[in-house]
Amino acid sequence: MKSQSTLQPIIIKGKKLPVPIVQGGMGVGVSLHPLARAVAQEGGMGIVSSACLDRLVSKRNNKKVNSYEAAYEEVSLAKAGGYAGINIMWALFRDYNDSVKGALDAGADAIISGAGLPLNLPSIQPPKDTALIPIVSSARALEIICKKWEKHGYRPDAVVLEGPLAGGHLGFRIDDVELESNKLENLFPPVKDMAIKYGDIPVIVAGGIYTHGDIVRYVNMGAAGVQMGTRFLATEESSASAAYKSAVVGSRDEDIVVAHRPGSPCGLPFRVIKQSPMYASALKRLRKPKCDKGYVLLKDADGKYSICGAKESNENFFCICNGLLSSGGYNTDQEEALYTVGTNASRVDRIMSVKDLMRELAGAGA
Ligand SMILES: Cc1cc2nc3c(=O)[nH]c(=O)nc-3n(C[C@H](O)[C@H](O)[C@H](O)COP(=O)(O)O)c2cc1C
Ligand code: SF4
């Protein structure tokens, strides 16, 4: 049953999304198929996260699967609900192409990709009717992507503009996170102009959207829709651990901080609840560096994936693979959890069902 919406549908790559709400990909193990499928059933876009998905699906199935198989399975299960796709972070270099291929072969409705500029996304495999949607934080980033994708004969099917209030990695330098010019409402007009220049690409805004009124405000400014993370994190269907959900409900404004030195080895600012066990330990440099997951490794001079800032020292970086896997309920007896949230987590006062949340956001009955 789709939520009755007072909002207009979006058409992306010829497919109609009845409710213009994208549930943002949330790794590690927060947006898996139960959440994505529930959102799709309500007429929104359900997005699973590819982050560390091979380990999560292998554990669930009690059988080892690789990144291609994990993406294929999770997208297929999510699509049973309706319009569904996958978020694949560019920063996950090692598994990026395999995750893209698995999602395309499963017939994902969309691949959404950020945490870096996904410059080669259209060239990995013909996307057929899967929409390719980059995430950007500026008009300049959108232009770079459009120019590069033009060389592959492709144009983004939509773009997500994510501002600095979002959860997860932030596409801004640490000193620029709080700038007035980087507020979502100020980033939007130039990105909208750039999107028009490259063929009226639909712009989906993200970061700090909380209410139906927020959605209406951006739609009236010219956005095609919104992407939301934190509100979907706090649902019954999200696969975050119970401790993570209670930390979200219990969080106050002053508990939500942008981690940086110690921060993410991906090099981008990363928003967390400061009481997250791994973050609290990282501030005291308690965890000894140990690399046993390797999802964010970069290539060395010999072309081997061997480089990560968190591997050698605990001064500037925490081990994001293990912290986030633990917050998704994996390895909890061995590693402490790291809770990432958007700034609005402090407004969350209860865990809701996706159905109730989608009805509220869509303005059903309003
Ligand atoms: C728990 C959590 C995990 C996230 N993980 C990812 C991710 O893996 N990849 C990504 O591109 N964005 C990620 N995000 C960002 C969301 O997809 C979304 O764009 C953002 O949270 C929107 O801001 P909001 O939380 O204020 O709604 C994450 C956000 C949260 C809250
Ligand atoms: S050190 Fe940790 S964060 Fe870095 S690649 Fe290894 S497991 Fe991942």
Atom of ligand 2 nearest to the CA of 292: 7
Q: Rounded distance, CA 255 to CA 313, Å?
A: 26
pLDDT at 1: 57
Radius of gyration (Cα) for the chain, nearest Å? 19
The 3-class secondary structure across 285-308, one letter per residue, is CCCCCCCCCCCCCEECCCCCEEEC
pLDDT at 297: 94
Side-chain-facing half-sphere of 254: CA atoms under 13 Å: 0
CB atoms < 10 A from the CB of 80, how many? 12
Among 230, 238, 324, 343, the mutation site with the greatest number of ligand 1 atoms within 8 A of its Cβ is: 230
Is the distance from the beta carbon of residue 294 to the nearest atom of ligand 2 less than 6 Å? yes
Is the distance from the beta carbon of residue 132 to the nearest atom of ligand 1 less than 6 Å? no
DSSP per-residue letters across 244-264? HHHHHHH--GGGEEEE-SSB-
Q: Tokens 């106050």 identify what position?
A: 252
CA of 319 to the centre of ligand 1 (A): 18
Q: Write the residue with the smallest CA distance to atom 6 of ligand 2.
A: 291
Q: Which ligand is nearest to the CA of 338?
A: 1
Kindly compute the dihedral angle of the four CA atoms of residues 32, 104, 168, 293, in this order, to the nearest 10 degrees: 80
Q: Residues 194-218: pLDDT tens digits?
A: 999 999 999 999 999 999 999 999 9
CA of 213 to the centre of ligand 1 (A): 20
Burial of 135-167, coded b for 16+ CB within 10 Å and e otherwise, reads bbbbbebbbebbebbeeeebebbbbbbbbbbbb
Atom of ligand 2 nearest to the CA of 293: 7
Tell me which residues of the chain have a pLDDT lower than 50.
Answer: 366
pLDDT at 364: 79
Is the distance from the beta carbon of residue 319 to the nearest atom of ligand 2 less than 6 Å? yes
DSSP per-residue letters across 53-102? HHHHHHHHHTS---HHHHHHHHHHHHHTTSSEEEE--TT-HHHHHHHHHH
pLDDT at 58: 97
pLDDT at 366: 44
CA of 81 to the centre of ligand 1 (A): 21
pLDDT at 6: 82
Q: Is 351 left (phi over 0), alpha (psi -120 to 50) or beta?
A: beta
Q: Residues 211-249: pLDDT tens digits?
A: 999 999 999 999 999 999 999 999 999 999 999 999 999
